Each structure stands twice: as C-alpha cells, then as structure tokens.
Amino acid sequence: MPVARVALDGAVDRAFDYEIPPELDAAAVPGARVLVPLGRREEQGTVLSRRDASDFAGVLKPLRAVEPGDPAVSLPLLRLALWMARYYMAPFGLCLRAMLPPRMRSARVGSGDGFARERTISRVDPGDASESGGAGASGASGARPEPTARQAEILGWLGEGESLLSGFCRTWHVAPETIRRMEEAGLVRIGTRICRRDPLAARRIAPSAPLRLNDEQSAALRAIVAALPPDSGSSKPILLHGITGSGKTEVYLQAIAEALARDCGAIVLVPEISLTPQTIRRFVSRFGPVVAVLHSQLGPGERHDEWHRLHSGEARVAVGPRSALFAPVRRLGLIVVDEEHEPSYKQDETPRYNARDVAVVRARAEKCAVVLGSATPSLESWRNASIGKYALVSLKRRATSGCLPSTTIVDMRVEASPGAGGVPGGGSGLIFSDTLVRAIRTRLEYGEQTMLLLNRRGWAPRVACPACGHVETCENCSVRMAYHRDDDVLRCHVCGAWRRVPAVCPECGAPEQRLAGVGTQRVESVARTLFPKARIERMDLDVTTRKSSHEEILSRFRAGKTDILVGTQMIAKGLDFPNVTLAGILDADASLCVPDFRASERTFQLVAQMAGRAGRGERPGDVIVQTRSPDAPAIVLAAREAYAEFAAAELVEREELLYPPFSRFCLVTVRSASRDAAESYAARFADAIGRDRPDWILGEPGPAPIEKSNGVWRFQISLRGPDSDVLHGRLRAAINAIPANGDISVACDIDALGGG
C-alpha cells in the first residue's frame, strides 16, 4: 500500500508516514491537506511526498481524510516552505500553515468546502415539470396545475434566469410560504449557489486607463518586461530605486498588464494595512475582478473566498501585505515588493521570515520576475545592487510635479529658548514651532492639506510623580504605561493592559501626577486649539482597529473633508494625495535614540518617506522637520533625499563593525516565567555557541530591550559573522547541546532587523 509523508500543522519539527487507503489514493498527492491519527487524537497536516514503502519498522496508521479537489499547496510552495524551514530554523508544519488562509488552517479536513451558500429561485418550464420536484401537485395525470393569478404575477416578476430567493422576496414583498407552495406545484425551482464574500462589494471603483510614462519610467518598464517569463525566467531581481512621487506604481501596473497579456499572474506586496485600500483601488480600477485582496482585516470568510479565487485561476493578481506572498497564483510571472525596506515585511513570530527575501527565493524557484521598489531601499538591497547581484533601475525625478518639495529643518533647541515662539505641550516642551504654525495657517488659507507625523500614540508616553520621580509601569511588561485621554486610562502598548491613573503616587503619596511627553492625541488636541476652524483627524493604531477604518479616514482626506491629518508612521508611506502641500515631522529624533545599529537607517527612511507626501500634485510642497539634532546626517541627508550619499557613509560604518549587509545576523531570545532561569539559560547557550572563531562576533547575553513582556522574562544573545551555513550550524549545535526544557523557550531570529 502506498505511503504518504505528512507534515503536521503544529510546531513538530519532523514528518510522519501514513498508509494511503485505496479510497483516498487519488486525492492524497503532495500538497493535499489531510487528517491523520496521532496517538489518541487526530491532527491536520499536509502531504509532502508519496513513496512505495516506509522506513518505519512498525505498523503504519492510515490517513483518515483528504481534502478533495486540487492540492492546497503547489509543489513550488512546498519547496519554498522547505527552504524557509531550513533557513529560518522553523518547524516545517508552521511554514506550511503560514501559506494557508485562517479558515483552512482551523477547519477540519473533510468537514466541508468552507464556502457560503445562498438559496435561489428560478421558474420551471412546463415541459420540465416532471423534474421540478412537484409530483404531489401534478396529480395522477402528471399535468401541472395552472398558476393562480397571484402566482402568475410572481412568475412575471421572476422572468428568466436565476434570482436570489431572499432578495426576490424582499423586493417584491412575497412571503416565503408562497414560494414554497409554488415549488410544490412545480412552478418554480429552489436551489443553492455559492455566495462569494466580496471584500470590495460596497465600493464603487471606476475603471482607469494606463498613464503616459516619461523616459525614466519607460526604461524601468522595459527592464521589468525583459525579465518576465518566458523571455527571461532566470533574471536577476530588480531594485527599482525611485524618489517619492516618481511614478513607481504606474510602472508596476503596466508591467502587470504585460504579465497578464502573457497569461501570467502577479503578486503585489505592500507593507502596511493602511496602504492596502489605496493600492487596491488603483489595481482594481485598472484590472477589475482579476484582482484578489488578501489581508488581516478581512473576515475569515472573505479571506477564504479570495484565496480560492486565486487557487482556481479566477483571479490572477494578489494584493496585500506580507502573507500575500504565499498566494496560490497560477503561472506566476511577477512579484512586486513595494516599499521593500519596510520592517513590517519581517514576521515577528515563528516562522520569522522576511517577505522581501522570501519573495526573491520564490521568484527564483518559479522562474518569474521580482521587483523590489523603494525611495529609500534597505542597505542590504542597495549593496546587492552595487555588487551586481541585483539589477538597479532608477527614477530620479517626479512623474507629475516638476521638483521635490522644499525642506526646512527647525532646531527645537532654539525654539525652546527664552523669548522664542512655538506652542508648548503642557510641561513637555514644544509641540509646534512658529515656523510650522505659520505654514499650516497658510495652507488653511489656500484650501490645501497638511500631514503631521509623530510616531508615538496616546496623549503622553509616561506618567511620573514630580515629587519622587516614580513612573507608572505595566505589571506584565517592563515598559512605561502611556496615558490615553480618549478613555482616561493608562495603557501598555505591549500587552494592552490598562488601568486608571492613580489619585496619589503609589511610592510617596504625592497627590499629583505629571503627564510627560507628547503623543498623537495631544498633538490633535493642541492642533484643534490652534486651528479652531480646521477639520482635523487622527490616524494611529487607537482609531484604526475597526474593519475599514483605515480606508474611511483616508477616503475623507482624499475627498478634501479633512484639512489636517495627524498620524504615526502609517501615514508616512506610499500615500498619494495631490492636495497635500505641507508635511510636518514633529520629532525627527525619536528613532535616533534607539540602541539599534539600524537607528540611522530607519530615521533616514522615515523622514524621507514623510517628506515625500508633500507636493505630489501641481502645487509645490514644503516639508518642516522639527528636531533637536539638526546636524545628524540621517536627518540632513533625508531632507535632501540624498539616499546614495547616506548609504555610502552608512555602509562604511557597517562594514567596519561587521553588521549587515556585511554579515549574517541572528538574535537569539530566551524566554521564561522566571528571570533567573532565563538569564542562566542564556549564559549557558552563549557558552555553547562558543567564541572559538575570530571572524564571528558573539554578543554578551543580556536583557532584551523590553525585558519583560506579557509576564515573560526575555534575555537575548546576538551573533554575527560572514557565513549563513556556519551560523545555522553553531545555533543547531547549541540547541542540541542544551535543549530547552520546563518553561524555557528559545527563538532564533535569522536576519533579525534590530538589536545588537
């Protein structure tokens, strides 16, 4: 009897052999979802391969069930999951689970196809009465009775074809009981059909035509088209470096049009949910129903149906954030990773993959083109292009407006000096400089829009006692709690815990608490005071938890119903509003102060990306950067969008210190409910890794930046060196030498984005 090798869905890092019963033989192919026995319980998994016999000496158990239809995971995706498991040191089953929609992961194999169904009604031709199920009404002679006047009226409304039963009854005010009697009489047929849960059903998106490309865009399009199959299925990845507003999206659209003309599909990745509505609108307006949407704010049913549209070939273009990379697009021809530098492409739980890098691996496996686009590329991609590993295509001028916005750097140390202007933030320094206030008022006078960035949500980042200095911290996490004025509570931005502000200091009993620092809620409040006639909205995690909230806020802003949009980094990327002529960055230093080797790179990217929101239409734009470090290279060069100059200097420093892209970097995190246990195990793990090679740098084990999270203590070890195979070998040797037990867990984050 043939044998199936199955990877279970759980975090079990091995596969199991099962017999394939004859009745399941045709369906139990590689990639199929199966239900199998494991001990006294049943588990779900995916068939990896088939073989004639097993190496297992005992008696094999048979498969219990196989999901009918085409296999859920294609052979290229199976191979990709295997690569991910090896490279990111993750259980193979979890890598496979990451490729499936949530409903398919949770639904029991064989329990149904997961589609919603609706009842339909259609009229029956007299000649078909014997097949209508109305035998009781036809009598002994088999003749169908003549419809009553009311029934004839209903048949007239029904017309030809099939109608939705509930909608028909609601529209024509017909009782369901009347329809049932007509079915018994053989006059109508009640059936069922699959009902698509369409995430775009409530939207009206007008079609759009391709725009005329300038010379740079045309050259970029030619480079991408030359890499599409079947012309060049093994081309290098393409790094599309285009300044903000240079028209990268239009290049993507026309490249996808060419891929579709060649009977190929495409995947488009965007980094943030906030970017998804705008991207979806542009792609659906161009390509219509062949676009499928995949992101976490869809309901499980919507994600299930969109996934199956791609799996069946009905849809050919997948659009969404990180997980859309695994969309089952048939004959994949092109993968686009927009804003490829964004850290949100890195998964923060097992498997800890980077969608940008996995996109390159999938493109290589499927022999399709891959384009990484950004105005501020990651230094890894930039160096790959500089050494010829990637092909570099540049867009150096804006597609619509003639020039970049004018940027002013405001030294907030000077603004805060005695006699200077500016708007105080209630004991927390200045929020708005005089320069920014005047610029906003000018925009309001001319009916133009402003975007203001502060990458901290809440009202105040910390609450402190002015008498003894005690700071309110989370009981579950080693972080300060932020004050949120909307609901008058302290909130932990790590675990979500909340509590009321204490009436007195819990340490010294002082009656007053000081709200220190500035968050987006406070910025919004001060802006309403300064500009009482302005229409102001805020966009951050606190106001975008509801489904479609991102789109609603951005739609009002696009329609000109909002004058000033205040937000965190989610407003700094990829958004295109032609009427925005002013972008203000309120605290450009925030990310510079983080103890992270990527701090300068992230600061440059955030400032440059936010600056790119202004002046994208016909009117020129201005950018005002408020900072207490006006001479920091990351801020000065970002203000000029001088990426190449910044990258050259930063790469010299990275190479001297052996940081990526000149090394492979891993961050090992040890977790335990006991601080002492986590610290002790981390020390032993570091010893097991060893310091015997001078070309490798092993960091001393120490507390993670957030030492305690959700009640769990965390210690970290960084490891960096020149060779990924050596990295994996040293880590696996350490794991085998001192296996985790009890409540100890170890996570190895390969190609970690932060720390060190």
Mean pLDDT of 156-172: 86
User: Is residue 240 within 8 Å of 223, Cβ to Cβ?
Assistant: no
Has residue 135 got a pLDDT over 50? no
Residue-level pLDDT at 132: 44
pTM of the model: 0.89
Residue 140 has pLDDT above 60, yes or no: no
How many C-alpha atoms does 693 have within 13 Å on its Cβ side? 14
Residues forming a β-bridge with 62: 19
Query: Right CATH number for 406-459+518-653 from 3.40.50.300, 2.60.120.10, 3.40.190.10, 2.60.34.10?
Result: 3.40.50.300
Q: How far is CA 183 from the centre of its chain?
A: 49
Supply the pLDDT for residue 656.
93
Give the per-residue pLDDT at 428.
38
**For 244-299, where are the alpha helices, taking DSSP H only?**
248-261, 276-287
Contact (Cβ atoms closer than 8 angstroms) between residue 64 and residue 267: no
Q: Is 94 a residue whose pLDDT tops 70?
A: yes
Dump the DSSP string for 729-741: HHHHHHHHHS---
Q: Which of 74-83, 137-146, 167-176, 645-654 has the lowest mean pLDDT?
A: 137-146
Please report, for the chain, the start and end positions of each structural domain, with discontinuous segments joined by +.
Answer: 3-79, 116-195, 215-395, 406-459+518-653, 462-516, 664-750
Place domain 215-395 in its CATH homologous superfamily. Answer: P-loop containing nucleotide triphosphate hydrolases (3.40.50.300)
| Per-residue DSSP letter, 388 | T
Give me the CATH topology for the region 664-750: Alpha-Beta Plaits (3.30.70)
Measured CA distances, 508 to 219, 503, 504, 505, 512 (Å): 68, 12, 8, 6, 11
For residue 680, the surrounding DSSP H or E stretch is helix 675-689
Predicted local confidence at residue 695, as pLDDT? 80
Which pLDDT tens digit goes with each residue over 489-520? 999 999 999 999 998 999 999 988 889 889 99
Q: Is the pLDDT of residue 354 over 90?
A: yes
pLDDT beyond 50 at 188:
yes
**Where residue 51 falls among pLDDT bands split at 50, 70, 90?**
very high
Q: Is the pLDDT of residue 592 over 90?
A: no
Tell me what pLDDT residue 125 has: 78
Give the CB-side neighbour count of residue 705, counting CA atoms within 13 A: 10
Query: Can you tell me the distance from the alpha carbon of 279 to that of 294, in angstroms, rounded to the nearest whole number?
Result: 12
Which of 149, 106, 101, 145 has the alpha carbon at shortest distance from 126?
145
Taking the C-alpha atoms of residue 234 and residue 318, their distance in angstroms, rounded to an integer, is 22
Whether 664 contacts 721, CB under 8 Å: yes
Residue-wise pLDDT for 106-122, tens only, equals 788 877 778 888 899 99
pLDDT score recorded for residue 425? 46
Distances (CA, A) of 57 to 43, 54, 60, 530, 631: 22, 8, 9, 79, 70
CB 330 within 8 A of CB 313: yes
Q: How confident is the model at residue 160 (pLDDT cuts 50, 70, 90)?
A: confident
Q: What is the mean predicted confidence (pLDDT) over 586-612?
A: 90
590: which 2 tokens?
A: 């925030």
Q: How confident is the model at residue 134 (pLDDT cuts 50, 70, 90)?
A: very low
- Per-residue model confidence (pLDDT) at position 190: 92
Over 530-575, what HEC string results?
Answer: HCCCCCEEEECHHHCCCCCHHHHHHHHHHCCCCCEEEECHHHCCCC
The span from the CA of 317 to the CA of 335, in Å, is 10
Q: What are phi and psi of 94, to 5 degrees?
A: -70, -35
- pLDDT for position 142: 56
* β-pairing verdict for 317-320 and 265-269: parallel
pLDDT tens, residue by residue, 409-441: 999 988 866 555 455 543 335 899 999 999 999
User: 147: how many CB neighbours lie within 10 A of its CB?
Assistant: 16
At residue 451, φ and ψ (nearest 5 deg) are -120, 130
Least confident of 386-395, 423-432, 618-627, 715-724: 423-432
List the alpha helices (DSSP H) in 403-561: 412-415, 434-445, 520-530, 549-558
Q: What is the pLDDT of residue 642?
A: 93
b/e sequence 708-725, b meaning 16+ C-beta within 10 Å: bbeebbbbbbbbbbeeee
Q: Does the pLDDT at position 477 exceed 60?
A: yes
In the chain, the percentage of residues whose pLDDT exceeds 70 is 94
Give me the pLDDT at residue 57, please: 85
Written as one letter, the residue type at 633 is P
pLDDT band at residue 617, thresholds of 50, 70 and 90?
confident
Of 381, 253, 273, 379, the residue nearest 317 (C-alpha): 253
Average pLDDT over every residue of 653-676: 95
Q: Is the dihedral of CA 452, 453, 457, 462 positive or negative?
A: negative
β-pair partners for 622: 406, 582
Compute the distance between CA of residue 679 and CA of residue 673 in angstroms, rounded to an integer: 11
Would you say the CATH fold of 664-750 matches that of 406-459+518-653? no
Tell me how crowded residue 365 is: count the other CB atoms within 10 A of its CB.
15
Looking at residue 198, its pLDDT comes to 84
Ordered strands of the 188-195 beta sheet: 162-164, 116-123, 188-195
Neighbours of 60 (CB within 10 A): 16
Helices within 192-275 (DSSP H only): 215-227, 248-261
User: What is the SS3 assignment for 170?
Assistant: helix
CATH of 3-79 given 3.40.1440.60, 3.50.50.60, 3.10.20.30, 3.40.50.10260: 3.40.1440.60
pLDDT at 247 over 60: yes
Mean model confidence pLDDT for the chain:
90
Residue 204, pLDDT > 60, answer yes
Smallest Cα–Cα separation from 16: which of 33, 36, 1, 31? 36
